[in-house]
Amino acid sequence: MDDQIQHQSMQYDLHRLVVLSIFIGALIAAAGVSTSVWFEFQNIGLEVLNTRPDLLGDYTYTPFAFVYNISLMVAGVCIMLSMLGLYLLKLGNFSHYLSFAGAWVGLAVILMGVFPTNYLELHRIVSTCYLIGTVMMFFLCISDKFNHHSICGWPVFFFSVLGFIAASVLIFQLNWRTLDFNPCESHNYKQPYCLVAITMWLLTNIVMLWCLSFAWNIRNIAIKSYLALSQSYLAGKS
């Protein structure tokens, strides 16, 4: 029983690593992106919605690009730490696959902060890897739910479906020759909005909400596991 308690204590620490890392990463990303959007909103108003998010990291486009890029790098490190914890938890094959996909996304987020659109060719490669990684991550969560595993709860499943749709729309719009999106035409009464930019903003927000809901789901798993151990321990004592 003592060995079981020690093992459960290690598991609980890993649960906390996953929850805190991904929660802090999502908050940092949200703070950095929101700050960058606010500064840009002061200049162009609601037209910021027609501006691709990656332009906020361009040092020649905005003087506050460092805020956006640093938040991406820190958030990416947090995501990778959380996925390492998820891998070590050994919650099943799906959790292993999800940890690999999540680590891929985290590494891509870091590199997008290191190589903003100033480094155009590298940024295109990294952002494409990010897009593919998100599709894989969301697909695994959807598959996990249909296979009746416990790693992805209903809120995670909901955001996974939305994220999979948004990422798939972007993939279909991607020019695979240049690894970039075709520029939007000048906004007029026929095309007042840029679909690519708006979809990218939607995906950015969905990923952050997915991270928060996933952290909450892992927390619930940790609580259930702790309660189960407590009950078994009390049953052994009686």
| pLDDT above 90 coverage of the chain, percent | 47
Predicted model pTM: 0.87
pLDDT tens figures, 138-189: 999 998 888 766 678 888 999 999 999 999 999 999 989 998 888 776 544 4
Return d(Cα 201, Cα 195) in angstroms, integer. Answer: 10
pLDDT tens figures, 18-43: 889 988 998 999 999 999 999 888 88
DSSP string, 41-67: HHHHGGGGGGS-GGGGG-TTT-TTHHH
Domain boundaries, the chain: 2-237
Q: Which residue has the tokens 């940024």?
A: 123
Instruction: Record the tokens describing residue 203, joined without a space.
Output: 């995906």
Return d(Cα 165, Cα 172) in angstroms, integer. Answer: 11
pLDDT at position 70 is 95
pLDDT tens figures, 38-89: 988 888 888 888 888 999 999 988 888 999 999 999 999 999 999 998 888 8
Residue 35: is it exposed, middle or buried by C-beta count within 10 angstroms (0-12/13-18/19+)?
Answer: middle
Return d(Cα 25, Cα 71) in angstroms, integer. Answer: 9
